[in-house]
Amino acid sequence: MDGPTIDPRIERLLAAATAFAAQRERLEAGVPWPLHIVEHEAGPESEWGPTEVLAHVSEMLPYWLGEIERVLAGPVEPVPFGRVAEDRVRTLTIERDRTLPVRELLDRIVNSADRYARRWPTITPAELARRGLHPRVGEIAVEDMLERFVVSHAEGHVAQLAEALGRATSPS
């Protein structure tokens, strides 16, 4: 008999991490990347360059795993969790980390995806049904948090990074 089946969402997250890592050579070739405005009101996320995208993904993956753990450990449902795009700690972390070497940011992304792959199979069906309360989304089950805040979010940033790298290498 084969080993345990991996959740398709975890497979997608691992594929996204691999897609980020596959860009290492192009990313390192472009150093130093121009820095973009991170503050939500001043510069939308869609205009971020490669370093801001990597810094954000490397901070958001462990952040959301922590928020999932917060909901799992909460004594009374729904458990308040999460943040909004304008969160000051979020933007300051991105501004700080975007100056780290590309290899460090990529390693953080891959390591975080591996943490999800180790943790997710240990969560019981009852725990997956636990509900959190997000300030904008409202009530959401732990199971749905993975898709909304982690997997599709990471996949969107893979596409954003590809677009940013395309802008950086296309003739003006």
Strand partners, 79: 132
Task: Flag whether 1 is in a domain.
Answer: no
pLDDT given at position 40: 57
User: Whole-prediction pTM value?
Assistant: 0.92
What's the angle, vertex CA 58, arms to CA 55 and CA 48, rounded to 5?
Answer: 30
State the helix-helix crossing angle for 102-119 and 50-73, rounded to 10 degrees: 30
Handedness of CA 23, 108, 87, 139 (dihedral sign): positive
pLDDT given at position 170: 47
3-state secondary structure of 42: coil
Query: What is the spatial distance between Cα 146 and Cα 158, in angstroms, rounded to a whole number?
Result: 17
* Exposure b/e, 132-154, CB count within 10 A at least 16 = b: bbbeeeeebbbbebbeebbbebb
Query: What is the spatial distance between Cα 84 and Cα 149, in angstroms, rounded to a whole number?
Result: 11
Domain that holds residue 35: 8-165
Task: Flag whether 172 is in a domain.
Answer: no
Task: Flag whether 171 is in a domain.
Answer: no
Task: Flag whether 125 is in a domain.
Answer: yes
Query: What is the spatial distance between Cα 43 and Cα 39, in angstroms, rounded to a whole number?
Result: 6
pLDDT given at position 20: 98
pLDDT given at position 57: 98
Let me know if 119 is exposed, middle or buried by CB neighbors in 10 A (0-12, 13-18, 19+): middle
**How many domains does one find in the chain?**
1
What's the angle, vertex CA 121, arms to CA 56 and CA 7, rounded to 5?
Answer: 70
pLDDT given at position 3: 58
Residue 77 belongs to domain with CATH number: 1.20.120.450
Task: Flag whether 102 is in a domain.
Answer: yes
pLDDT given at position 2: 59
Q: Digits of tens for pLDDT over the chain (172 positions)? A: 555 689 999 999 999 999 999 999 999 999 999 888 777 555 567 788 999 999 999 999 999 999 999 999 999 999 999 998 888 999 999 999 999 999 999 999 999 999 999 999 999 999 999 999 999 999 999 999 999 999 999 999 999 999 989 876 644 4
